[in-house]
Chain A
Amino acid sequence: MQMLAHGYLSQYSLAEIFNLIQEGKKNGVLSIEPRDGSIDASKVAQDSTLEIPCYYVSFQGGRVMSIFYGLEYENQDLLAMVLERQWIPLEQIKELKKKLSGLTIPWGLQLKVWEIISVDRLRLLFDIQVLSQLAKIFEISEGKFRFDPHAELNYPEMTGLSLSARNAVLLGLRGLKDWSRLTNKLPAPESRLQRASSELQGSSLENDEQLVWQLALGEMSVLEIAAQLNLEIDKVRQIGFRLCSIGLTHEVAVKPSPPIEIVKPVCVGGGNPNIQISTAFVSKLIGFLKQQKG
């Protein structure tokens, strides 16, 4: 990672950077400064006076802890988000801030331990902070990045929830609309895909991704897989790229990466989708709604 501590997104894709961070189980902050259009890389390096909002992605043990977007890192904390939603009155926030300052664990976690904020609410904050930002980060086509393994972790902004860098890549790349910049990094039509492991390790692949993965036995070319599945070649190349990016498959002739653990991503939604809504809930709600009809 040291040699990759900074560079341009034209040289390294975010997927590659995230992967390195995951593989090295790195701690630190990755800053990404987007640049629209094709600006000469050397000029970008010189011109540091321009103020451009950056993304700051905090990692702990190779997992995404929080993402901050703004001009200057460090001025966002969870308590501000909590206050904005009026979950806790201002006086109490001030008090909490004093009690929390200096702690070296995610503030969200501490607030949960103190039973001041529920997991549902933490999850919502994490969704806002991380999941909704990921799609945007993987849209960035030009820019520079910098990984600072010595950056102080910003505990005040962390919920304590996290997402493996690998899953972040999967989610981010699925949301990608413009693949043109990555074209030369996609697996070639003639190349073969080989699974890195015989198991999906609990990763939640989309239908097409799963089908491609099943055929990735090192025997069929990307072209043949596309024909067999009746999918567009570009689509299969993109899926192949996603699978390779998260280490589930690799292009044959490339040194295989070790099998990896995939963690189910944290998702939007305060309620638990696995728990059925009770009849009591539904009847009570119907009663309430009937009153609204006046």
Chain B
Amino acid sequence: MEIMNLVVTGTLGAGKSTFILSASEMQVAAPDKHNTGDEAFFPQDTTASIDFETLQFDEEMAIHIYGTPSQVRFDFMWEILIERAHAYVLLIAAHRPSEFHYARRILNFMNQHAQIPMIIGITHNDCEGAWRPEDIALALGYHNSTKQPPIVAVNTQDRASVAMALITLMEQCL
């Protein structure tokens, strides 16, 4: 079984849990029931802060998707997650500019710990007060568009939109 570890991180309430759920719901009807992905999850009460889902899209291939703990402090769980990751998604809620600074700190933390393919997903684009993705890029310190990672708008509640974001991420892995 080839397994890709994917980390979904982001600002508070950006839609990490929803993103992970939407991704896991893309399950194929696997011939062997106990090989499907919905079997493995962290029960909320045991880890409290970690989302975990799997997406098995082939008999021999699966993605394990982890959400970072929803707390501002970076601890060893973050390190463990990021150091095991093959790729990650950073989700940022467009309508909460006060969180952009935290997003920047996440980026720094991630960069320190791993050089892996990543994309930035901008959520809550439909909400009042949402910033445009290009403005958010500037707020994150990307003043040169050639050096920035892909920034995509994503509606985490929409499976197709999550699939689109993941395609962009996978293109980074090629």
Chain A interfacial positions (CB closer than 8 Å to B): 84-89, 118, 120-121, 124, 128, 131-132, 135, 171, 174-175, 177, 206-207, 265, 267-273, 276-279, 281-286, 288-290, 292-294
Contacts and interface: CB of A to CB of B under 8 A. Distances in A.
A292 B80 contact: no
Contact of B1 (A88, A120, A128, A277): A120
Contacts of A207: 112
B41 A135 contact: no
Contact of B174 (A135, A282, A289): A282
Nearest to B57: A288
21 contacts: A84-B43, A86-B34, A118-B1, A121-B40, A124-B40, A135-B77, A174-B75, A175-B77, A268-B66, A269-B81, A270-B54, A271-B3, A271-B5, A276-B86, A281-B2, A282-B173, A284-B57, A284-B58, A285-B57, A292-B26, A292-B160
- The secondary structure that dominates the B interface is mixed
Nearest to B86: A277
Contacts of A267: 80, 83-84
Interface stretch (B98-106, B130-138, B149-157, B163-171): B163-171
B135 to A, nearest CB: 27
A94 to B, nearest CB: 16
Nearest to A131: B80
B34 A293 contact: no
Nearest to B71: A177
B40 A269 contact: no
Contact of B5 (A121, A128, A177, A273): A273
B30 to A, nearest CB: 12
A269 B57 contact: no
Given A89-B34, A207-B112, A270-B64, 5 more contacts: A87-B40, A128-B47, A171-B76, A174-B79, A268-B81
B89 interface: no
Nearest to B174: A282
Contact of A278 (B2, B54, B57, B76): B2
B28 interface: yes
B46 A132 contact: yes
A132 B34 CA distance: 25
The 3 closest A-B pairs by CB, nearest first: A269-B84, A271-B3, A292-B163
B86 A132 contact: no
Contacts of A282: 170, 173-174
A121 B1 CA distance: 12
Contacts of A84: 43
A136 to B, nearest CB: 9
B61 interface: yes
B80 A85 contact: no
B84 A268 contact: yes
B122 interface: no
Contacts of A289: 26, 163-164, 166-167, 170
